[in-house]
Structure 1
Amino acid sequence: MDGNGRWATSRGLSRSDGHKAGTEAAKEFVTECLKLGVQHVTLYTFSRENWARPKEEISFLFDLLVRFMRREMDALIKQGIRLNIFGDLSELPFTTRQAIKTAVSLSSGGSKMTLNLALNYSGRDDIMRACKALCKKKLAPEAITEQALAAELYSAGQPDPDLVIRTSGELRLSNFLLWESAYSEFYFTETYWPDFDSAELHKALEDYASRGRRFGKTDAQLAEAESGKNS
Protein backbone atom coordinates (compact mmCIF):
# COMPACT_ATOMS: atom_id res chain seq x y z
CA MET A 1 0.00 0.00 0.00
CA ASP A 2 2.52 2.58 -1.24
CA GLY A 3 2.36 6.33 -1.59
CA ASN A 4 0.78 7.60 1.63
CA GLY A 5 3.64 10.00 2.31
CA ARG A 6 3.92 11.25 -1.27
CA TRP A 7 0.15 11.66 -1.44
CA ALA A 8 0.27 13.88 1.64
CA THR A 9 3.29 15.87 0.47
CA SER A 10 1.64 16.62 -2.87
CA ARG A 11 -1.25 18.18 -0.93
CA GLY A 12 0.84 20.11 1.58
CA LEU A 13 -0.18 17.72 4.37
CA SER A 14 1.83 15.77 6.94
CA ARG A 15 2.86 12.15 6.47
CA SER A 16 0.52 11.33 9.36
CA ASP A 17 -2.37 12.70 7.33
CA GLY A 18 -1.28 10.44 4.49
CA HIS A 19 -1.30 7.38 6.71
CA LYS A 20 -4.77 8.28 8.02
CA ALA A 21 -6.03 8.54 4.45
CA GLY A 22 -4.35 5.22 3.72
CA THR A 23 -6.33 3.45 6.44
CA GLU A 24 -9.58 4.76 4.95
CA ALA A 25 -8.49 3.50 1.52
CA ALA A 26 -7.78 0.11 3.06
CA LYS A 27 -11.28 0.04 4.56
CA GLU A 28 -12.88 0.83 1.19
CA PHE A 29 -10.64 -1.72 -0.56
CA VAL A 30 -11.57 -4.55 1.80
CA THR A 31 -15.27 -3.65 1.70
CA GLU A 32 -15.31 -3.71 -2.10
CA CYS A 33 -13.38 -6.99 -2.24
CA LEU A 34 -15.94 -8.50 0.10
CA LYS A 35 -18.78 -7.35 -2.15
CA LEU A 36 -17.04 -8.93 -5.13
CA GLY A 37 -16.63 -12.27 -3.35
CA VAL A 38 -12.86 -12.13 -2.88
CA GLN A 39 -12.17 -14.56 -0.06
CA HIS A 40 -8.53 -13.82 0.74
CA VAL A 41 -6.89 -10.38 0.94
CA THR A 42 -3.40 -9.60 2.24
CA LEU A 43 -2.37 -6.02 3.01
CA TYR A 44 1.35 -5.29 3.40
CA THR A 45 0.94 -3.07 6.45
CA PHE A 46 4.44 -2.86 7.97
CA SER A 47 7.59 -4.54 6.71
CA ARG A 48 10.67 -5.44 8.74
CA GLU A 49 12.49 -2.81 6.69
CA ASN A 50 10.07 -0.14 7.89
CA TRP A 51 11.83 -0.04 11.27
CA ALA A 52 14.35 2.26 9.53
CA ARG A 53 11.73 5.02 9.42
CA PRO A 54 11.73 7.85 12.03
CA LYS A 55 10.65 6.64 15.48
CA GLU A 56 7.86 9.22 15.64
CA GLU A 57 6.35 7.94 12.40
CA ILE A 58 6.59 4.30 13.52
CA SER A 59 4.88 5.14 16.81
CA PHE A 60 2.11 6.96 14.98
CA LEU A 61 1.60 4.02 12.60
CA PHE A 62 1.12 1.55 15.43
CA ASP A 63 -1.18 3.91 17.35
CA LEU A 64 -3.20 4.41 14.17
CA LEU A 65 -3.42 0.66 13.66
CA VAL A 66 -4.69 0.12 17.21
CA ARG A 67 -7.32 2.86 16.91
CA PHE A 68 -8.44 1.61 13.51
CA MET A 69 -8.83 -2.00 14.66
CA ARG A 70 -10.77 -1.02 17.76
CA ARG A 71 -13.03 1.23 15.72
CA GLU A 72 -13.67 -1.31 12.96
CA MET A 73 -13.80 -4.50 15.05
CA ASP A 74 -17.59 -4.70 15.23
CA ALA A 75 -17.87 -4.12 11.48
CA LEU A 76 -15.36 -6.88 10.73
CA ILE A 77 -17.29 -9.36 12.84
CA LYS A 78 -20.65 -8.30 11.38
CA GLN A 79 -19.31 -8.72 7.83
CA GLY A 80 -17.85 -12.15 8.55
CA ILE A 81 -14.22 -11.10 8.10
CA ARG A 82 -11.57 -13.16 9.88
CA LEU A 83 -8.43 -11.23 10.76
CA ASN A 84 -5.09 -13.04 10.44
CA ILE A 85 -1.49 -11.90 10.83
CA PHE A 86 1.59 -12.60 8.71
CA GLY A 87 4.73 -11.63 10.61
CA ASP A 88 6.55 -11.57 13.94
CA LEU A 89 4.47 -9.72 16.51
CA SER A 90 7.01 -10.13 19.32
CA GLU A 91 8.86 -6.94 18.33
CA LEU A 92 5.74 -4.76 18.26
CA PRO A 93 4.69 -2.50 21.17
CA PHE A 94 2.73 -4.26 23.92
CA THR A 95 -0.47 -2.28 23.34
CA THR A 96 -0.34 -3.07 19.63
CA ARG A 97 0.23 -6.79 20.27
CA GLN A 98 -2.68 -6.97 22.68
CA ALA A 99 -5.04 -5.13 20.34
CA ILE A 100 -4.08 -7.45 17.48
CA LYS A 101 -4.49 -10.61 19.53
CA THR A 102 -7.92 -9.44 20.70
CA ALA A 103 -9.01 -8.63 17.14
CA VAL A 104 -7.78 -11.98 15.82
CA SER A 105 -9.60 -13.84 18.57
CA LEU A 106 -12.89 -11.94 18.27
CA SER A 107 -13.00 -12.30 14.47
CA SER A 108 -11.97 -15.96 14.36
CA GLY A 109 -15.48 -17.10 13.41
CA GLY A 110 -15.57 -15.05 10.20
CA SER A 111 -16.20 -17.20 7.12
CA LYS A 112 -16.73 -14.74 4.26
CA MET A 113 -13.20 -13.38 4.00
CA THR A 114 -9.77 -13.88 5.53
CA LEU A 115 -8.00 -10.53 5.87
CA ASN A 116 -4.26 -10.98 6.37
CA LEU A 117 -2.27 -8.06 7.73
CA ALA A 118 1.45 -8.42 6.98
CA LEU A 119 2.96 -6.80 10.09
CA ASN A 120 6.69 -6.79 10.79
CA TYR A 121 6.77 -9.10 7.78
CA SER A 122 9.55 -10.16 5.43
CA GLY A 123 9.18 -12.74 2.67
CA ARG A 124 12.79 -13.86 3.02
CA ASP A 125 12.48 -14.09 6.80
CA ASP A 126 9.31 -16.16 6.43
CA ILE A 127 11.08 -18.66 4.16
CA MET A 128 14.04 -18.83 6.56
CA ARG A 129 11.67 -19.40 9.47
CA ALA A 130 9.96 -22.22 7.57
CA CYS A 131 13.33 -23.85 6.78
CA LYS A 132 14.31 -23.74 10.45
CA ALA A 133 11.00 -25.33 11.39
CA LEU A 134 11.67 -28.21 8.96
CA CYS A 135 15.18 -28.65 10.39
CA LYS A 136 13.74 -28.93 13.90
CA LYS A 137 11.52 -31.76 12.65
CA LYS A 138 14.69 -33.56 11.48
CA LEU A 139 13.10 -34.55 8.19
CA ALA A 140 14.95 -36.69 5.67
CA PRO A 141 16.02 -34.66 2.58
CA GLU A 142 13.48 -36.41 0.36
CA ALA A 143 10.71 -35.44 2.79
CA ILE A 144 11.44 -31.73 2.36
CA THR A 145 8.97 -30.92 -0.42
CA GLU A 146 7.37 -27.70 -1.59
CA GLN A 147 4.23 -28.73 0.26
CA ALA A 148 6.17 -29.35 3.48
CA LEU A 149 7.82 -25.94 3.35
CA ALA A 150 4.60 -24.14 2.40
CA ALA A 151 2.93 -25.69 5.45
CA GLU A 152 5.37 -23.79 7.69
CA LEU A 153 4.80 -20.34 6.14
CA TYR A 154 2.53 -17.71 7.66
CA SER A 155 0.19 -18.31 4.71
CA ALA A 156 -0.21 -22.03 5.42
CA GLY A 157 -3.69 -23.28 4.55
CA GLN A 158 -4.47 -20.35 2.27
CA PRO A 159 -4.28 -20.24 -1.54
CA ASP A 160 -1.43 -18.46 -3.29
CA PRO A 161 -2.39 -14.94 -4.43
CA ASP A 162 -3.90 -14.70 -7.89
CA LEU A 163 -3.13 -11.00 -8.15
CA VAL A 164 -0.55 -8.72 -6.51
CA ILE A 165 -1.29 -4.99 -6.76
CA ARG A 166 1.48 -2.41 -6.30
CA THR A 167 0.56 1.27 -6.09
CA SER A 168 2.43 4.59 -6.47
CA GLY A 169 4.55 3.59 -9.45
CA GLU A 170 6.82 1.14 -7.60
CA LEU A 171 7.86 -1.78 -9.82
CA ARG A 172 9.23 -4.34 -7.39
CA LEU A 173 8.08 -6.97 -4.89
CA SER A 174 9.84 -5.42 -1.87
CA ASN A 175 10.11 -8.73 -0.01
CA PHE A 176 6.36 -9.44 -0.16
CA LEU A 177 5.05 -13.03 -0.39
CA LEU A 178 8.13 -14.20 -2.27
CA TRP A 179 7.26 -17.89 -2.11
CA GLU A 180 3.54 -17.50 -2.65
CA SER A 181 3.79 -15.13 -5.64
CA ALA A 182 5.64 -17.55 -7.93
CA TYR A 183 2.72 -17.64 -10.39
CA SER A 184 0.80 -14.55 -9.34
CA GLU A 185 -0.22 -11.90 -11.84
CA PHE A 186 1.09 -8.38 -11.12
CA TYR A 187 -0.65 -5.04 -11.55
CA PHE A 188 1.35 -1.84 -11.26
CA THR A 189 -0.25 1.60 -11.10
CA GLU A 190 1.00 5.17 -10.63
CA THR A 191 -1.96 5.85 -8.31
CA TYR A 192 -1.02 6.58 -4.70
CA TRP A 193 -2.64 4.22 -2.20
CA PRO A 194 -4.99 6.82 -0.62
CA ASP A 195 -6.44 7.40 -4.11
CA PHE A 196 -6.79 3.69 -4.89
CA ASP A 197 -10.57 3.58 -4.58
CA SER A 198 -13.17 1.07 -5.76
CA ALA A 199 -12.92 2.34 -9.34
CA GLU A 200 -9.16 1.73 -9.32
CA LEU A 201 -9.70 -1.76 -7.90
CA HIS A 202 -12.11 -2.57 -10.72
CA LYS A 203 -9.51 -1.39 -13.25
CA ALA A 204 -7.00 -3.79 -11.73
CA LEU A 205 -9.45 -6.69 -11.75
CA GLU A 206 -10.53 -5.99 -15.33
CA ASP A 207 -6.89 -6.02 -16.39
CA TYR A 208 -6.35 -9.29 -14.52
CA ALA A 209 -9.44 -10.84 -16.12
CA SER A 210 -8.09 -10.07 -19.60
CA ARG A 211 -4.95 -12.17 -19.06
CA GLY A 212 -4.40 -15.83 -19.81
CA ARG A 213 -2.72 -17.63 -16.90
CA ARG A 214 -0.36 -20.36 -18.12
CA PHE A 215 1.43 -21.69 -15.04
CA GLY A 216 4.25 -22.75 -17.37
CA LYS A 217 1.99 -24.66 -19.76
CA THR A 218 1.84 -24.47 -23.56
CA ASP A 219 -1.25 -23.41 -25.52
CA ALA A 220 -1.92 -27.05 -26.40
CA GLN A 221 -1.71 -28.14 -22.76
CA LEU A 222 -4.01 -25.33 -21.68
CA ALA A 223 -6.51 -26.26 -24.38
CA GLU A 224 -6.40 -29.90 -23.33
CA ALA A 225 -6.95 -28.97 -19.69
CA GLU A 226 -9.87 -26.72 -20.62
CA SER A 227 -11.35 -29.49 -22.75
CA GLY A 228 -11.18 -31.84 -19.79
CA LYS A 229 -13.04 -29.36 -17.61
CA ASN A 230 -15.86 -29.08 -20.12
CA SER A 231 -16.22 -32.80 -20.84
Structure 2
Amino acid sequence: MSASSDGRGPLYRLYINRLRRQLESAPVPRHVAMMIDGNRRWARQLGYDSAAHGHRAGAAKMREFLEWCDDVGVRVVSLYLLSNDNLRKRDSQELSDLIEIIAELAEELSHERDWRVQHMGRAHLLPPDLARVLADAETRTKDRTGLHVNLAVGYGGRGEIVDAVRSIIAQHDQDGGSLEALAASLTPEQIGEHLYTGGQPDPDLVIRTSGEQRLSDFLLWQSAHSEFYFVEALGPDLREVDFLRAIRDYATRDRRYGS
Protein backbone atom coordinates (compact mmCIF):
# COMPACT_ATOMS: atom_id res chain seq x y z
CA MET A 1 0.00 0.00 0.00
CA SER A 2 1.37 3.41 -0.88
CA ALA A 3 1.17 6.31 1.54
CA SER A 4 0.73 9.96 0.77
CA SER A 5 3.89 11.94 1.35
CA ASP A 6 2.25 14.78 3.27
CA GLY A 7 1.21 12.55 6.18
CA ARG A 8 -2.42 13.71 6.08
CA GLY A 9 -4.08 11.61 3.37
CA PRO A 10 -6.50 8.75 4.12
CA LEU A 11 -4.15 6.10 2.70
CA TYR A 12 -1.38 7.35 4.93
CA ARG A 13 -3.62 7.15 8.02
CA LEU A 14 -4.73 3.63 7.07
CA TYR A 15 -1.10 2.58 6.73
CA ILE A 16 -0.22 4.18 10.08
CA ASN A 17 -3.04 2.30 11.78
CA ARG A 18 -1.91 -0.96 10.20
CA LEU A 19 1.63 -0.43 11.47
CA ARG A 20 0.34 0.32 14.96
CA ARG A 21 -1.66 -2.92 14.99
CA GLN A 22 1.42 -4.85 13.90
CA LEU A 23 3.34 -3.40 16.84
CA GLU A 24 0.72 -4.13 19.51
CA SER A 25 2.41 -7.36 20.58
CA ALA A 26 5.93 -6.54 19.34
CA PRO A 27 8.88 -5.80 21.64
CA VAL A 28 9.39 -2.06 21.99
CA PRO A 29 12.83 -0.59 22.76
CA ARG A 30 13.12 0.75 26.28
CA HIS A 31 15.59 3.44 25.23
CA VAL A 32 15.71 5.14 21.81
CA ALA A 33 18.54 7.50 20.88
CA MET A 34 17.88 9.97 18.07
CA MET A 35 20.48 11.76 15.97
CA ILE A 36 18.50 14.36 14.05
CA ASP A 37 20.51 15.39 11.01
CA GLY A 38 19.88 17.39 7.86
CA ASN A 39 18.31 20.55 9.28
CA ARG A 40 20.67 22.85 7.40
CA ARG A 41 20.23 20.95 4.13
CA TRP A 42 16.46 21.13 4.58
CA ALA A 43 16.59 24.91 4.97
CA ARG A 44 18.95 25.28 1.99
CA GLN A 45 16.81 23.11 -0.28
CA LEU A 46 13.74 25.20 0.51
CA GLY A 47 15.60 28.40 -0.26
CA TYR A 48 15.79 29.84 3.24
CA ASP A 49 18.58 32.32 3.82
CA SER A 50 19.33 31.04 7.33
CA ALA A 51 19.96 27.60 8.81
CA ALA A 52 17.86 28.71 11.78
CA HIS A 53 14.71 27.86 9.82
CA GLY A 54 15.90 24.27 9.56
CA HIS A 55 16.94 24.04 13.20
CA ARG A 56 13.58 25.41 14.33
CA ALA A 57 11.74 22.92 12.10
CA GLY A 58 13.96 20.15 13.47
CA ALA A 59 13.13 21.15 17.05
CA ALA A 60 9.41 21.04 16.27
CA LYS A 61 9.89 17.58 14.79
CA MET A 62 11.64 16.40 17.94
CA ARG A 63 8.59 17.34 19.99
CA GLU A 64 6.51 15.15 17.66
CA PHE A 65 9.10 12.38 17.84
CA LEU A 66 8.91 12.31 21.64
CA GLU A 67 5.13 11.99 21.46
CA TRP A 68 5.47 9.05 19.06
CA CYS A 69 7.93 7.37 21.42
CA ASP A 70 5.73 7.99 24.44
CA ASP A 71 2.66 6.64 22.66
CA VAL A 72 4.28 3.27 21.78
CA GLY A 73 5.73 2.74 25.27
CA VAL A 74 9.38 3.81 24.96
CA ARG A 75 10.63 4.77 28.42
CA VAL A 76 13.81 6.77 27.65
CA VAL A 77 14.72 8.96 24.66
CA SER A 78 18.09 10.65 24.12
CA LEU A 79 18.21 13.53 21.63
CA TYR A 80 21.54 14.69 20.20
CA LEU A 81 21.04 18.46 19.89
CA LEU A 82 24.46 20.11 20.15
CA SER A 83 27.90 18.50 20.23
CA ASN A 84 31.12 19.87 21.63
CA ASP A 85 32.37 20.03 18.04
CA ASN A 86 29.35 22.18 17.12
CA LEU A 87 30.30 24.62 19.86
CA ARG A 88 33.73 25.05 18.32
CA LYS A 89 33.01 24.91 14.60
CA ARG A 90 29.58 26.42 13.86
CA ASP A 91 29.29 29.93 12.43
CA SER A 92 28.70 32.32 15.32
CA GLN A 93 25.27 33.50 14.14
CA GLU A 94 24.09 29.97 13.42
CA LEU A 95 25.34 28.83 16.83
CA SER A 96 23.60 31.74 18.53
CA ASP A 97 20.32 30.87 16.79
CA LEU A 98 20.71 27.19 17.63
CA ILE A 99 21.36 27.91 21.31
CA GLU A 100 18.19 30.02 21.45
CA ILE A 101 16.16 27.26 19.78
CA ILE A 102 17.49 24.58 22.14
CA ALA A 103 16.66 26.76 25.16
CA GLU A 104 13.09 27.18 23.88
CA LEU A 105 12.79 23.43 23.28
CA ALA A 106 14.04 22.53 26.77
CA GLU A 107 11.63 24.97 28.37
CA GLU A 108 8.68 23.64 26.35
CA LEU A 109 9.50 20.00 27.03
CA SER A 110 9.59 20.65 30.76
CA HIS A 111 5.87 21.45 30.57
CA GLU A 112 4.88 18.48 28.36
CA ARG A 113 2.84 15.57 29.71
CA ASP A 114 4.64 13.86 32.63
CA TRP A 115 8.05 13.96 30.97
CA ARG A 116 11.29 14.17 32.91
CA VAL A 117 14.02 16.25 31.28
CA GLN A 118 17.71 15.65 31.93
CA HIS A 119 20.70 17.48 30.48
CA MET A 120 23.62 15.38 29.20
CA GLY A 121 26.86 17.22 28.54
CA ARG A 122 29.33 19.71 29.96
CA ALA A 123 27.27 22.61 31.30
CA HIS A 124 30.36 24.74 31.91
CA LEU A 125 31.01 24.90 28.15
CA LEU A 126 27.57 26.35 27.44
CA PRO A 127 26.45 29.98 27.53
CA PRO A 128 25.20 30.68 31.07
CA ASP A 129 21.62 31.39 29.97
CA LEU A 130 21.33 28.04 28.17
CA ALA A 131 22.92 26.17 31.08
CA ARG A 132 20.40 27.82 33.42
CA VAL A 133 17.40 26.88 31.25
CA LEU A 134 18.57 23.25 31.09
CA ALA A 135 19.16 23.14 34.86
CA ASP A 136 15.74 24.68 35.54
CA ALA A 137 14.03 22.16 33.24
CA GLU A 138 15.80 19.32 35.04
CA THR A 139 14.83 20.63 38.47
CA ARG A 140 11.22 21.29 37.43
CA THR A 141 10.73 17.73 36.18
CA LYS A 142 12.94 15.68 38.52
CA ASP A 143 10.05 13.98 40.33
CA ARG A 144 8.11 12.98 37.22
CA THR A 145 7.71 9.35 36.26
CA GLY A 146 6.79 9.57 32.57
CA LEU A 147 9.03 9.53 29.51
CA HIS A 148 12.65 10.28 30.46
CA VAL A 149 14.07 12.77 27.94
CA ASN A 150 17.85 13.19 27.77
CA LEU A 151 18.96 16.36 25.98
CA ALA A 152 22.55 15.99 24.76
CA VAL A 153 23.77 19.60 24.61
CA GLY A 154 27.47 20.44 24.72
CA TYR A 155 27.93 16.70 24.50
CA GLY A 156 30.69 14.40 23.28
CA GLY A 157 30.89 10.65 23.80
CA ARG A 158 34.64 10.58 24.37
CA GLY A 159 34.37 13.48 26.78
CA GLU A 160 31.60 11.67 28.66
CA ILE A 161 33.86 8.65 29.19
CA VAL A 162 36.68 10.93 30.39
CA ASP A 163 34.29 12.63 32.82
CA ALA A 164 33.13 9.23 34.11
CA VAL A 165 36.70 8.06 34.75
CA ARG A 166 37.55 11.34 36.45
CA SER A 167 34.50 10.93 38.69
CA ILE A 168 35.53 7.40 39.62
CA ILE A 169 39.09 8.51 40.44
CA ALA A 170 37.85 11.45 42.53
CA GLN A 171 35.45 9.24 44.49
CA HIS A 172 38.13 6.58 45.02
CA ASP A 173 40.59 9.21 46.23
CA GLN A 174 37.99 10.66 48.59
CA ASP A 175 37.52 7.18 50.05
CA GLY A 176 41.27 6.90 50.62
CA GLY A 177 41.91 4.11 48.10
CA SER A 178 45.14 3.59 46.19
CA LEU A 179 45.58 3.75 42.42
CA GLU A 180 46.63 0.11 42.46
CA ALA A 181 43.38 -0.87 44.14
CA LEU A 182 41.37 1.20 41.69
CA ALA A 183 43.11 -0.36 38.68
CA ALA A 184 42.42 -3.82 40.05
CA SER A 185 38.75 -3.17 40.78
CA LEU A 186 37.66 -1.06 37.78
CA THR A 187 34.84 -2.66 35.76
CA PRO A 188 32.69 -1.68 32.77
CA GLU A 189 29.68 -1.60 35.10
CA GLN A 190 31.44 0.90 37.34
CA ILE A 191 32.19 3.19 34.41
CA GLY A 192 28.59 2.88 33.25
CA GLU A 193 27.31 4.04 36.62
CA HIS A 194 29.32 7.27 36.31
CA LEU A 195 28.22 8.18 32.79
CA TYR A 196 25.66 10.95 32.25
CA THR A 197 23.09 8.16 31.75
CA GLY A 198 23.99 6.31 34.95
CA GLY A 199 21.03 4.25 36.17
CA GLN A 200 19.32 4.23 32.77
CA PRO A 201 19.15 1.33 30.32
CA ASP A 202 21.54 1.57 27.39
CA PRO A 203 19.88 2.55 24.10
CA ASP A 204 18.28 -0.43 22.40
CA LEU A 205 17.82 1.50 19.16
CA VAL A 206 19.76 4.40 17.64
CA ILE A 207 18.05 6.29 14.80
CA ARG A 208 19.72 8.80 12.49
CA THR A 209 18.05 10.90 9.83
CA SER A 210 19.29 12.30 6.48
CA GLY A 211 20.86 9.07 5.24
CA GLU A 212 24.16 9.61 7.07
CA GLN A 213 25.56 6.44 8.62
CA ARG A 214 27.98 7.45 11.33
CA LEU A 215 27.90 7.76 15.11
CA SER A 216 29.41 11.26 15.41
CA ASP A 217 30.67 10.79 18.98
CA PHE A 218 27.18 10.04 20.36
CA LEU A 219 26.73 7.59 23.25
CA LEU A 220 29.89 5.70 22.31
CA TRP A 221 29.97 3.57 25.45
CA GLN A 222 26.23 3.01 25.78
CA SER A 223 25.65 2.00 22.14
CA ALA A 224 28.09 -0.93 22.19
CA HIS A 225 25.22 -3.37 21.63
CA SER A 226 22.58 -1.03 20.19
CA GLU A 227 20.66 -1.66 17.00
CA PHE A 228 20.98 1.08 14.35
CA TYR A 229 18.37 2.37 11.91
CA PHE A 230 19.09 5.00 9.24
CA VAL A 231 16.34 7.09 7.65
CA GLU A 232 16.82 8.89 4.33
CA ALA A 233 14.49 11.76 5.27
CA LEU A 234 16.05 15.01 6.43
CA GLY A 235 15.32 15.76 10.07
CA PRO A 236 12.33 18.10 9.65
CA ASP A 237 10.77 15.72 7.08
CA LEU A 238 10.72 12.70 9.41
CA ARG A 239 7.25 11.15 9.49
CA GLU A 240 5.51 8.98 12.04
CA VAL A 241 5.49 6.19 9.48
CA ASP A 242 9.29 6.35 9.35
CA PHE A 243 9.43 5.99 13.13
CA LEU A 244 6.97 3.09 13.20
CA ARG A 245 8.91 1.30 10.48
CA ALA A 246 12.04 1.68 12.60
CA ILE A 247 10.25 0.14 15.58
CA ARG A 248 8.89 -2.68 13.39
CA ASP A 249 12.36 -3.35 12.02
CA TYR A 250 13.80 -3.39 15.54
CA ALA A 251 11.17 -5.91 16.64
CA THR A 252 12.29 -8.38 13.93
CA ARG A 253 15.99 -8.31 14.77
CA ASP A 254 17.76 -11.08 16.65
CA ARG A 255 19.77 -9.14 19.22
CA ARG A 256 23.04 -10.93 19.93
CA TYR A 257 24.72 -8.43 22.27
CA GLY A 258 28.10 -9.06 20.67
CA SER A 259 27.94 -12.86 20.68
Q: TM-score, normalised by structure 1?
A: 0.89
1:114 matched residue in structure 2: 148
1:4 matched residue in structure 2: 39
2:64 matched residue in structure 1: 28
| Aligned counterparts, 1:119-158, within 5 A | 119-136=153-170, 137-138=172-173, 140=181, 141-158=183-200
Change over 3 Å in CA distance of 1:57–1:214 after alignment to 2: same
- How far apart are 1:129 and its partner, in Å? 1.3
1:42 matched residue in structure 2: 78
1:97 matched residue in structure 2: 131
1:173 matched residue in structure 2: 215
Q: Structure 2 CA distance, aligned partners of 1:68 and 1:83?
A: 11
3-state SS of paired residue (2:110): helix
- Contact (CA 8 Å) 1:4, 1:18: kept in 2 or not? yes
Change over 3 Å in CA distance of 1:151–1:93 after alignment to 2: same
- Contact (CA 8 Å) 2:109, 2:115: kept in 1 or not? no
Ranges in structure 1 where 5+ consecutive residues have no aligned partner: 218-231
CA RMSD of aligned residues (A): 1.3
What do the CA deviations read for 1:176-195 (whole angstroms, capped 9, x no partner)?
00000000000012111101
2:229 matched residue in structure 1: 187
1:59 matched residue in structure 2: 96
Matched AA of 2:214: R
1:16 matched residue in structure 2: 52
- Contact (CA 8 Å) 2:109, 2:117: kept in 1 or not? no
What do the CA deviations read for 1:98-132 (whole angstroms, capped 9, x no partner)?
11111111111221211000010010011111122
3-state SS of paired residue (2:142): coil
Matched AA of 1:153: L
1:206 matched residue in structure 2: 248
Match of 2:239 among 190, 197, 201: 197
1:228 matched residue in structure 2: none
Matched AA of 1:12: G
- Contact (CA 8 Å) 2:110, 2:117: kept in 1 or not? no
What do the CA deviations read for 1:187-210 (whole angstroms, capped 9, x no partner)?
012111101121111111111111
Identity, in percent, stands at 38
- Contact (CA 8 Å) 2:231, 2:242: kept in 1 or not? no
Greater CA drift, 8-17 or 132-141 = 132-141
What do the CA deviations read for 1:1-30 (whole angstroms, capped 9, x no partner)?
100000111111231110110011000000
3-state SS of paired residue (1:7): helix
3-state SS of paired residue (1:182): helix
Matched AA of 1:158: Q
Counterpart check, 1:82 vs 2:119: no
Q: TM-score, normalised by structure 2?
A: 0.80
3-state SS of paired residue (1:59): helix
- Contact (CA 8 Å) 1:16, 1:60: kept in 2 or not? yes
Q: Structure 2 CA distance, aligned partners of 1:89 and 1:105?
A: 15
Q: Structure 2 CA distance, aligned partners of 1:106 and 1:56?
A: 30
